[in-house]
Structure 1
Amino acid sequence: MTTLNGKIDTVRLGGPDGPETGVQGFGAMGISEFYGDTDEAAARDTLEAALEAGVTLIDTADAYGHGANEEFLAPFVAAHRDEIVLATKFALERRVDDPTYRGINNDPAYIRKSVEGSLRRLGVETIDLYYMHRRDPAVPFAESVGTMAELVKEGKVRQLGLSEVTGPELREAYAVHPIAALQSEWSLFSRDVEHSAVGAAAELGVTFVPYSPLGRGFLTGSFADAGKELAEGDFRRSQPRFTGENAERNAALLEPLRAIAAEHDATPAQIALAWLHHRPAVHGLTVVPIPGTRKRTRLLENAAATRIKLSAADLAALEPIAALVTGDRYPDMRSTSAAREA
């Protein structure tokens, strides 16, 4: 397996004047929810390993664990505030009395309430990167992004980000206030962002932050039937790409990934991440994937993927995979950018 020596390389988030961050970040969502039980001591050790490896962009959201994820991160943030770039999000509205409820709220008053809650739970005075987690087309960008821009003026937020927006939507928001980062699902299994969002980000100098860069674990090649192999409470059991015939067909698509991994003495996960780290050369933009894990060993494995150089033949062999994937990314795709592509 390819290993990491030293720290990963760095880039500037959102352009030459943005903060310096590792070329790979850390998605903290799974620590608090969605992927089964967490060993909190191991998760804290993983966070320390991330910093040691130069993984300094730490990504959370107020929706993860109903705020518990931000609270979990707070001691780590306090200990390393000057060493990390802290990102969180608003807009996914949840209710404690109804765990199944998922609303999208871009209302200005809700934004202000959300930022105050995140600042309190994280124990900080300023959030480095504040994302709109999902777009509600019923609320004009001039209102929602305008409110986010006010938070920058007030010193509560340093940079703005968007998640799951189309290229035209990104341009519309950017006209209101510069956007530093666009976070959307992008991987060998999910490439719909290349329709318009990637090109717009490159044009505007917006850093692209791929979430689920390992296809929610599918690109590790570790399982073929989520219904049989994932624990109760793991949200992937309900994801279309992970169940029944879809899972079996998608698992068969990983053979090129496994073959290339063997040639590079790497894991399939490392090759999948390396593919994303080759996107800047293809699309002309900065890319900072945020794989998540609760294990130190996986964190270091993921970080080592930044060292892998894929050949033109490798990239050509991986190119067809996404077009052959069966099943949507989510049971309900209405909140994603894919649903709003013309």
Structure 2
Amino acid sequence: MSTTKPEPQQPALHRLVHKINPPPRPTYGPNRIGKAQNYRPRLVTRLLSKYFPPPVRTDVAWYSASIGKKLDRTSDFFVDATGSNGKELTTLLHSIRDRAWALDAYPCFGRWLFLLPGISGLSWYDDVVLKRAREGATVLDLGCGLGQEIRRVAVTESVKSTQLYVLDVSQEIWALGLELFGDASSPPAKFIQADARTDRYAESLRANSEQLFQLSGKVDVVLMGLFLDLFHFPGQVEVGKTVAMLSKVGTHAVGYSRGTTTGNAVEEEVKDAGTRSMVHDDKSLKTLWFDIGELTKTKWKVEVNLVEIGEFGWEQEDVGWMGGPPPMGICFVATRES
């Protein structure tokens, strides 16, 4: 089954205009969100973009035209969840990915990482996530994207959609997920559009969202797949403050992201993407949760595993393009003790 889809050729006039007025380079991460709110292109650029919509550039290292082997471990889930198979499924995935890329050019879309097992592949998944969900726990997925993580929980026996919540800054991406999985008429979870970061001086979550504020102290499990490493250290602390304000004693925060070998934690700048991020080792990730606890007057027990990137289904080019220290996968469960 072929997983490569050729990009359509644009009309000659469009190609000429785009040569004169090149599309901007794709960016991702929190810095992109800020620029989108504050930056206004010149009038001529706005007019050209209106009448000659630019293609979304794909000449960046965090983009791959081919699905490759990304579906090998999750094909059954996507066949069951989408009702599509074979070439039909491949065509559907390409369509959704291309439109997601046009909205938010994140590596999880560009490198097809949303097709991988994600949090469901972690050693804690059955005992921490599914067991508690079956018992009626409230589960929130931070940075849900298309929503594949929460749908794996939603299909679990005895789990109700009223227990499940998802949060993302982009409602459009969530809507693409509803289209992909064909469940717009009965969404698997309640969607909250908000920033996951809470300013360290904020006294409540109202500044983020009234809906999020209503969940203060009520969430039992927080999912954080491919999320923390989008932020630099202060941004990660602000995400942690949100988690702490949502939590109660016994709450689990379960996540994974790109990490690095012990002793190589670093905050790096990805100039092509216009963003900075903190890449953790096992020690620095525990330090992060200690700082979160100090800020919020909570205490967290943190278990961390560093694994070879292949265990997540990643290939070297999925994470190695950023340079820096040796890439690893890092996964964690942080449990609130007080």
Give the TM bin, normalised by the shorter chain.
0.3 to 0.5
State which structure, 1 or 2, has the greater radius of gyration over its C-alpha atoms: 2
Q: TM-score, normalised by structure 1?
A: 0.34
- Considering Cα pairs closer than 8 Å and 6+ residues apart, tell me whether 1 or 2 has the greater RCO: 1
Q: TM-score, normalised by structure 2?
A: 0.34
